[in-house]
Structure 1
Amino acid sequence: MRLGRSITFLATIAIATVSALVMVGATIVTIVVVMAMDEDNSSIGATSAVQTLKEAIARDAQGRLMVEPNGKLAALARNYPSFWYVVSDDRTTLLSGEVPGQNSQETPVRQSRIKYAQFEFLSDEKRLVGVAVSEETRAGQVLIEAGGLPLSMLENTLIVLSNNGPLLVLYGLILLATIASAVLVMPRLIARPVRQAAAEAEAIDGVPGGRRLADAGTPAELKPLVGAFNRALERIDAAAASQRNFLSNAAHELRTPLTKLRMKLEGVPDETIRASLVADVQHLSATVTTLLHLARLSGQPLAFAPVDLVALCRAAVAEVAPTALDRDIDIDFRADDPVVVVRGAEAAIRAAVTNLIENALRHAKATPSIVVEVTAPGRIRVIDSGCGIAVETRDVVLRPFIRGGHDDTEGAGLGLAIVAQVMSMHGGSVTIDETPGGGATFTLTFPA
C-alpha cells in the first residue's frame, strides 16, 4: 500500500500537524496575552538578568564579593544601555550602570532582607520595572537587584519559553501523546468501516437476489459508495438473469425438436447411417440437458442442509456402474468413515460428482478402473488411470466448452464447468493432480 494514497495516513498526518500547530500557537498566544496585560514587561528581562547574575557571583581570594565578567552580562550591557544591577551582602555592595536612586534617597529595596520584590522607576521618562531577589549563590546569600531591560514582545516570549523548560517538556509530552493517539486510533476509526464493507463484499455469492452491502450503520462518507456498489450488483443481476433466461428458454425449445428428430431417425433404413445420426442427436440432447443444469445452478440460490458425502457418492457410483461395466471399466467406491457430513445442496453436489465420474468414463478410455473416494472432513476424489490432463491445460479445463485437448466428439465441455460452479457456490475448491502411474485425480474440497 502506498502511504501517499492511504486515507488513514493522510488523515493521521493532518490531525497530528494541526494538533501540533494548535498547541504551539495556543502556548505562544497565552504567553503574549499574559504579557500584554502589563503596561510594561521589562520585569521578565530583569528576572532573566538576575539569573544571569546569580551564575556570575563569587568571592575573590580575599573573600570579597565579586561579579565575574562573562559574555551574557557583556551582551546585556552592550545591547541595553539602560541596564543596571546591584549585588550586595551584609558588607559589600557592587553596582553597575545607572542605578535608580543611587544619588538620592530613592534606593528602593537595597540592604533589606527580602525574598522577592518588584518596583518601578523612570528611565528617560519611560517607566520600567526592576526586581530584587535574595538568592543563594557561590558567595552565600546575596541580594540581587536588576532592571533597565525594555525588551520587545518577541524577546520576552523567548525568555519565558527558555525559562520554563518543565512546562515545555509537559507540552511536548502532551503533543507526543496526541500524535500517538492519532497514529494508533485514527487508522482504526477510518479503516474499520472500510474493512467491514470489504468483508461484506467478499461474502457476496453472486446469485440473483443475493447479499448486498449493508446500508444500516454505514458511515455517511461510505453511503454513496455502498449505494453505487449495490446498484451495480442489481444491474449485473439483471443482465445475468436475461442471459440465463435466454439459455434456459433456448434449451427447452431445443429438446422437443431433438426428441422428434430422434424418433424420425429410427426410420432410416441404413443401420450405419442411422446409428451415426442417432449418436449425434444424443450428443446434442446431452448438451442441451447440461445447459439446462448450468442455467438452473446459476439461476437460483442453493438451499444448504447437512449432506452425507458417503451416501451421496455411493448412490452416484451405483447409478453409473452399468455404463462403466458396458465399457469394461471397473468402478470402485471407498470411504474411511461411515458418515462424512458437510453443509451444501445435495442435488448440486450429486450433479458435480456424477459429472466427474462421467467425465472419467468418457475421456479416460484407457483406464482399467475408476476410484471414487470420500475422506473426512469433506473431500471427494475421483481417480482414473487414463491418459491424464496436461499440466498446462489444468487451469482452463474447468471453463465452459473446454475439452482438455481430447479430440473425441463426446461431451460438450460443460461437465467440468458445472463441477467448478458447484464448488464455487459451496465455497470449496476443485484441484486436478496426476494419478501416480498416470491418469488424473480430481479432488473436491468442501469448507469445514
Structure 2
Amino acid sequence: MTLLRPRSLRWRLVGRLVLLQATVLSALIVLVLLVVAALWWSGVLGEDYEGSSLDVLKEAVERDAGGGLTLRPTPELANLRSEISGLWFVVRDAQGHRLSEGVVPPDFVSIAGALDHVREARLSWTAGQTSPLAGLVKWVDSRAGSVQIMTGTQGRISVGRVIAVAPPVFLNFLLPIIGLMAFATLVATPFVVRRAMAGLGQAAAQAERIDIDRRGVQLSVDEVPTEIIPLVKAVNDALGRLDKGYERHKRFLADAAHELRTPIAILTTRVSSLPTGPEKTRLLEDATRLTVLTGQLLDLQRLDQQGDRLVPVDLVGIARRVVLDLAPLAFAAGYEMSFEPEDEDIEVRGDQTSLERALTNLVQNAIDHGGRRGTIMVRVARAGWIEVCDDGGGIPVAEREQIFEPFYRLQQGGRGAGLGLDLVRKIMYLHGGRAEVVAGPSGGACLRMTFPNVQRAVS
C-alpha cells in the first residue's frame, strides 16, 4: 500500500472526496474570476466606483526629501488623470502638510480641516442624498503614514484593486471553508464507510467460520452494500458448488467401500482355506488391511453425518476386543501381544464402531512396521487415552507430524496406501480429541489416541 494508491476503501473514499471538494472549489474560484474579468472588460463592473480616486491616491502618496507630501507617478495615477478631466483632491496630514490638485469645489474647501477627528465622511450636494456622491473624506494609512484624503468620486475600479482584494477574500473566506470541509470529510467519511460496510464485516466473520466439517454455510447479504452483493452471491454460489462436489466425493468413497466389502470378504474366506504357511500369513495381513480401510471409510462418512450423536463408550472394552481380534494375526507375524488397562472401566463419549476401527488401524500399523519381532503393547490410561507401542525402529522426530498426512509413508514402496493414520486422526478430530506420536518405553513407535473428557474411571 502506498500513500498515492491506498488499498483501504475508506481512505480511498476520503482522499477522493477531499480532492473532489478541492477541485470544485477551485473551479468555483476560477469561474468567479472569469465572471469578474468579463464584467470588467465589458465595463459593467468598473463603472461608478466611488472609491476609485481615493484608492489610487492612497497608493501614490509618499514623503519627499523634506518630509512633505508628494505623489509617486504610478500608472494608476496617470490613468486616473487621463480619464477624469476635472480631477480634484486634497491630501493633508496631522503635521499640517498639504497637497492638492485641481479645482476643489468652494463648498468643500473648509470641510477637510473641520473633520480632523472624523475617520470617514461622505459628501453630497443635497441632504439625505446617497448617490451619486460629490466627494469622500477619509483618513488612510499610506507610505506617508496616516493622511487625510478628500477627493471626488469619479472613476472606475482598477484591475490591481480587484487582484489586491482577491487574496484576502480567499484567505479569510474560501480557505477556511475548504479546511472545514476537508476536516469534516476526514472525520465523517470513515464513520460513514464503516457503517455502510458493517454488513460486509458480518459476511467476513461468517466466512471465517466456514470449515470442511461445516458445509452448507451461506454468507448473509443483509446490510451488505448493493455494490458488494454480486461478489457475496458469487462466493455463495462457489460454496454451493464446492458442497456439491464434496458430497459427490463422499458418495463415491462410500459406494466404493460398500462395493469392496463383498469381494474382500470372499478373498479373506478363500485365503483362510489355504494351507498354513508364510504366504497365507501375508495374504491374511493384506486382506485384513483392506477390511480395515473400507470400514474406516464407511465410519468416517457415518460420523460426519452424525457427529453430534456420540454416546458413552468403554475404552477398555474397545481395546480388549481389538486385541483379541488381531492377536492371532500378530502371533502369526512373529509378535507377542500385551494388553495393560489401568482400570476395568474407563468411559468417554464417542462412536464405538469408529473407535474400534481407529484402534484396529493402529494395531495393524504396528504389525506392518514393527519389524516382526518383540511385543505390541496396548495400554489404556485413566486420563482418557489409548496407545499402541511396538519394539521396532521407531518414528524420526522430524516426521512425527507428517505421518498423519494422507498418502505419506516413512519408506517408499512400503506396505499400505498411506491412509490409515490420516483416518485415525480424522476420527479423533470428530471426537474432539487428537492422535499423536509419543515416546515409547522401548524406543519403538508409540501412537496415542487422546480423548478430551473421561466420563468416569473406576478402579
Partner SS, residue 407 of structure 2: coil
Partner of 1:150: 157
Q: 1:239 aligns with which of 245, 255, 261?
A: 245
> C-alpha distance in 2, partners of 1:131/1:436?
115
- Asked whether 1:40 is paired with 2:41, we answer no
**Aligned residues of 1:41 and 1:129 also touching (Cα < 8 A):** no
Q: Structure 1 residues 182 and 245 mapped into 2: Cα distance closer, same or farther (>3 Å)? A: same
Q: Give 1:417's aligned amino acid.
A: D
1:418 alignment partner in structure 2 = 423
Q: Distance between the aligned counterparts of 1:140 and 1:420, measured in 2?
A: 97
Shift of 1:256: 2.2
One of 260, 268, 274 as aligned partner of 1:268: 274
| TM-fit CA distance, 1:288 | 1.2
Larger Rg: 1 or 2? 2
Contact 1:383-1:439 at 8 Å conserved across structures: yes
Secondary structure of 2:403's counterpart equals coil
1:365 matched residue in structure 2: 370
Structure 1: gaps (5+ residues): 121-126
Q: TM-score, normalised by structure 1?
A: 0.66
Shift of the 407–199 alpha-carbon distance from structure 1 to 2, 3 Å rule, reads same
> What amino acid is the match of 1:258?
I
Please name the residue that 1:88 is paired with.
92
Which secondary structure state, in structure 1, belongs to the residue aligned with residue 251 of structure 2? helix
CA contact (8 A) 1:82 1:148 kept: yes
8 Å contact from structure 2 (residues 370, 390) kept in 1: no
How far did residue 17 of structure 1 move? 0.7
Residue from 185, 200, 203 that aligns with 1:197:
203
Partner residue of 2:406? 400
Query: Would you say 1:180 and 2:186 are equivalent positions?
Result: yes
Letter in 2 for 1:4: R
Give the RMSD, CA atoms, in angstroms: 5.7
Further displaced range: 1-10 or 168-177: 1-10
Looking at structure 2, the residues matched to 109 and 317 of structure 1 have their Cα atoms a distance apart, in angstroms, of: 128
Deviations 1:168-192 (A, max 9, x none): 4522431430342367446635665
Q: Which runs of 5+ in 2 are unaligned?
A: 125-131, 453-459
User: What code does the residue aligned with 2:45 have?
Assistant: D
Does the Cα contact within 8 Å between 1:134 and 1:141 map onto a contact in 2? yes
Mapped partners of 1:360, 1:187: distance in 2? 58
Among all aligned residue pairs of Structure 1 and Structure 2, give the percentage whose two residues are the same amino acid. 25
Does the CA-based 8 Å contact 2:22-2:178 persist in structure 1? no
Please give the alpha-carbon distance, in whole angstroms, between the structure 2 residues aligned to 1:267 and 1:278: 11
Q: Determine helix, strand or coil for the equivalent of 2:406.
A: coil
Separation (CA, whole Å) in 2 of partners of 1:364 and 1:443: 16
Contact 1:394 1:404 in 2 (8 A): no
Give the aligned length.
420
Distance 1:277 1:130, change over 3 A: farther
Structure 1 residue 220: Cα displacement? 0.9
Q: 1:124 — aligned with what?
A: none
8 Å contact from structure 1 (residues 117, 132) kept in 2: yes
Contact map agreement 1:89 1:142 (CA 8 A) in 2: yes
Give the secondary structure class of the aligned counterpart of 1:210.
coil
Shift of the 441–245 alpha-carbon distance from structure 1 to 2, 3 Å rule, reads same
Aligned counterparts of 2:134 and 2:446: Cα–Cα separation in 1 = 98
Bigger drift between 279-288 and 86-95 goes to 86-95
CA contact (8 A) 1:334 1:372 kept: yes
For residues 396 and 54 of structure 2, the distance between their equivalents in structure 1, rounded to whole angstroms, comes to 91
User: Which residue of structure 2 aligns with residue 11 of structure 1?
Assistant: 13
1:13-92 pair list within 5 angstroms: 13-26=15-28, 39-40=44-45, 50=55, 53=58, 66=69, 74=74, 76-77=76-77, 87-89=91-93, 91-92=96-97
Q: Shift in Å at residue 269 of structure 1?
A: 4.0
Q: Whole-Å Cα distance in 2 between the matches of residues 431 and 340 of structure 1? A: 20
For residues 17-43 of structure 1, the C-alpha deviation after alignment (integer angstroms, 9 at most, x for no partner) is 112223444466678889979943579
> 2:111, 2:197 → 1: CA distance?
68
2:5 alignment partner AA: G
How far 1:399 sits from its partner (Å)? 3.2
Cα distance, 1:384–1:145 mapped onto 2, change above 3 Å: farther
CA distance in 2, matches of 1:353, 1:254: 19
Cα offset, 1:321, TM superposition: 5.9
Shift of 1:263: 2.8
Q: Give the match's secondary structure for 1:217.
A: coil
Mark the CA change 1:392 to 1:415 in structure 2 (over 3 Å): closer, same or farther: same
8 Å contact kept, 1:57–1:68: yes
Is the CA contact 1:82–1:149 (under 8 Å) kept in the aligned structure 2? no
CA distance in 2, matches of 1:47, 1:426: 95
